[in-house]
Structure 1
Amino acid sequence: MPYPISVSLPFDHIHSPAEFMTIEAVGEICRTAEAAGFSAGCVTDHPVPGSRWLDNGGHYAQDPFVMLSLIASATTTLKLQTNILVLPYRNPFITARAVSTLDVFSKGRVVLGMGAGYLKAEYKALGIDFDTRNDLMDEYIRAMKLAWTGEDFAFEGTGYSAPGNRVLPRPFQDPHPPLLVGGNSRRAIRRAVEQGDAWHPFFAPASVTDTARTVSLAAEEDIDKALAYLHDHCAKVGRATPPQIILSSVFTIKAGYRAQEALDVISSYREKGASAAGVSISASTRGEWCDLARDFGDRVLLKLGKSSL
């Protein structure tokens, strides 16, 4: 059975600009990922990260919609995925417009992974109240869905008001691109059930999530409890078809990796009901990145099958 695997793209490697931060690099890397059989290329979202976080293992990020536009122009079938967009950072109608534009011009390749985020310093720099981020995220999803109808709409938001507005063109995908709701908390799971097309969790060791201030879903017991809660909430709110489970990165491809280990990890999540997953590639040069992507395509993706999200 076909099984989609997305890949995180390396354009946040600012310390190797000649390798990863040129138009030529975008073209070569993304066409390689597409040819290897990856379903989507993923970019993340940190417009103004705090220096303390950066100095303790954090990372930079390019503007997600600029990068996805470049990727769209270099490819033909690769899905364009945010993993994740921090939704409360931007007015929802600005985001709705960016998503609609990209989806139309890419002929329906956008996959919108989104979350509430966790970086207080970044929230403060952007002038957004950190403590209300979850309420804002719920509100912004509702606002974007209205904007994507293409009809006149009115919406009263937090600090903004749409008294009678319209956004055209609508997204290419109907009614909008897939909404992958990120986050491991129970509130994030409820949001995925109530407003999303998929739940997009990050399964990681506790040592990682402790520094990221997210809920750890490392142990199999934790994962099973989260999935049970998702299905229970579906029953509670009357959602007959649960959201898909589309995982963030579950495996890192690096020199000397074992293909069977990757297959085992991905298969274990597949058996738990995940309909897609992501991987990342650890490489210091563009050539190494592309070689590992091709190798993973030959030794892993071909065995899993190829498809799109």
Structure 2
Amino acid sequence: MLQFNIPLPFDHLAAGEEFLTMEAVRDVGAAIERAGFSACLVTDHPCPTGRWLDAGGHHAQDPFVMLSLVAAVTTRIRLQTGILVLPYRNPFIVARSIASLDRFSNGRVTIGMGAGYLKGEYRALGVDFEQRNVLMDEYLKALKLALSGEEFAFEGTGYQAFGNRIQPGPVQRPHPPLYVGGNARRAIRRAVELGDGWYPFFTVGGVSTTTTRTADITNEQDLAEALVYMCAHCEAVGRENPPVVAIGSIVKPGESWTPQMIVDRAGQFAEMGVVAAGMNIEGRTRAEWCDNAERFGQDVIAKLGTA
């Protein structure tokens, strides 16, 4: 059965304080667990440009702070970045955050990560935008070593670890699941060679592949072709079990939907080998958002669970 992930609403600044309090975190956490969602998702934009925000971009709370708050008020739902821009931060700082969160949440962390696409944000953070793919590969290798819980050594771009330790390590071994985001062939190869999962997303209805700098996946046929490429690369590099696939959203951008449409599409994706999909829930107020999340649980998740 396809599992559903839900983006958290704490970036909805237009609603004022509706989503910006600990009370909101408690209410949202309770609602999404009652609804039966598998994982909650946070994005990563620590310092976006005003130009991007004014053109339709969005703010994002600190991903590890937000997931830690949700972890404190929930017991079951997985805590997932969707996505973390890995080259923005030293990989050992990221490893420390992941290990702490996974330890104190009793092994509920999944890390979706990608190379990002906002040149202005890269510039503000002092990271070379043109080197983002090289850094992504390097940081992912460093991250996996640092999450081992053992002493490690690694020499990277402008940093060195000679006999360092990050303890306690995460609960999940050898590390929490690491999903590589992006539609490009390079992202798929990265997922096969370095990741536990692949995290694609649909690019229709206003998602610009020029600004996001990724390949188009506009429909199920595009996704199927990408899955064929992924399996072929697994064979080429000798990977026996392909990465799991969790798509960013089951609904294409701007697409209207009904519960039955989602149920039908969930079955189609599951047959393709997709294990999870995001589902964005709307709501102008916290109460409306929580009601809509729970209604989705009743109308879709519960039906799939009893199918």
For 2:111, the equivalent position in structure 1 comes to: 112
Change (3 A) 1:289 1:116: same
For 2:202, the equivalent position in structure 1 comes to: 203
For 2:249, the equivalent position in structure 1 comes to: 249
For 1:178, the equivalent position in structure 2 comes to: 177
Code of the residue aligned with 1:225 in structure 2: it is E
The DSSP-based 3-state class of the residue aligned with 2:102 is: helix
For 2:277, the equivalent position in structure 1 comes to: 277
Change (3 A) 1:222 1:206: farther
- Written as runs of structure 1 = structure 2, the 5 A alignment for 1:201-240 is 201-205=200-204, 207-210=206-209, 211-240=211-240
Code of the residue aligned with 1:260 in structure 2: it is Q
* Counterparts of 2:160 and 2:205, CA distance in 1: 41
The DSSP-based 3-state class of the residue aligned with 1:41 is: strand
For 2:78, the equivalent position in structure 1 comes to: 79
The DSSP-based 3-state class of the residue aligned with 1:15 is: helix
Aligned partners of 1:192 and 1:199 also within 8 Å: yes
Which deviates further from its counterpart, 208-217 or 239-248? 208-217
In the TM superposition, what is the alpha-carbon distance from 1:59 to its structure 2 partner? 0.3
Aligned partners of 2:203 and 2:252 also within 8 Å: no
The DSSP-based 3-state class of the residue aligned with 2:206 is: helix
> What's the C-alpha RMSD, in Å, of the aligned pairs?
1.7
For 1:30, the equivalent position in structure 2 comes to: 29
- Written as runs of structure 1 = structure 2, the 5 A alignment for 1:56-205 is 56-205=55-204
Aligned partners of 1:253 and 1:282 also within 8 Å: no
For 2:302, the equivalent position in structure 1 comes to: 302
Which deviates further from its counterpart, 151-160 or 268-277? 268-277
Aligned partners of 1:45 and 1:86 also within 8 Å: yes
Code of the residue aligned with 2:161 in structure 1: it is A
Code of the residue aligned with 2:226 in structure 1: it is A
In the TM superposition, what is the alpha-carbon distance from 1:252 to its structure 2 partner? 7.8
In the TM superposition, what is the alpha-carbon distance from 1:207 to its structure 2 partner? 3.4
Code of the residue aligned with 1:212 in structure 2: it is T
The DSSP-based 3-state class of the residue aligned with 1:60 is: coil
In the TM superposition, what is the alpha-carbon distance from 1:7 to its structure 2 partner? 0.3
Code of the residue aligned with 1:236 in structure 2: it is A
* Counterparts of 1:89 and 1:244, CA distance in 2: 25
For 2:20, the equivalent position in structure 1 comes to: 21
Code of the residue aligned with 2:214 in structure 1: it is T
* Counterparts of 2:252 and 2:69, CA distance in 1: 24
* Counterparts of 2:156 and 2:272, CA distance in 1: 38
Code of the residue aligned with 2:33 in structure 1: it is E
Code of the residue aligned with 1:10 in structure 2: it is P
* Counterparts of 1:219 and 1:279, CA distance in 2: 16
Structure 2 gaps, min length 5: none
In the TM superposition, what is the alpha-carbon distance from 1:205 to its structure 2 partner? 1.0
Deviations 1:196-217 (A, max 9, x none): 1110101231631335332210
* Counterparts of 1:87 and 1:138, CA distance in 2: 9
The DSSP-based 3-state class of the residue aligned with 1:251 is: coil
* Counterparts of 2:202 and 2:252, CA distance in 1: 13
* Counterparts of 1:120 and 1:288, CA distance in 2: 35
Code of the residue aligned with 1:144 in structure 2: it is L
* Counterparts of 2:253 and 2:43, CA distance in 1: 18
The DSSP-based 3-state class of the residue aligned with 2:249 is: strand
Code of the residue aligned with 2:38 in structure 1: it is S
Deviations 1:257-283 (A, max 9, x none): 521111122222222110111111121
Which deviates further from its counterpart, 9-18 or 23-32? 9-18
* Counterparts of 2:113 and 2:59, CA distance in 1: 17
In the TM superposition, what is the alpha-carbon distance from 1:247 to its structure 2 partner? 1.0
The DSSP-based 3-state class of the residue aligned with 1:161 is: strand
Which deviates further from its counterpart, 202-211 or 216-225? 202-211
Aligned partners of 2:18 and 2:285 also within 8 Å: yes
Code of the residue aligned with 1:63 in structure 2: it is D
Deviations 1:157-206 (A, max 9, x none): 00111122111001010111011110000000000001111101012316
Q: Matched residues, percent identical?
A: 56
TM normalised by structure 1 equals 0.95
- Written as runs of structure 1 = structure 2, the 5 A alignment for 1:44-55 is 44-55=43-54
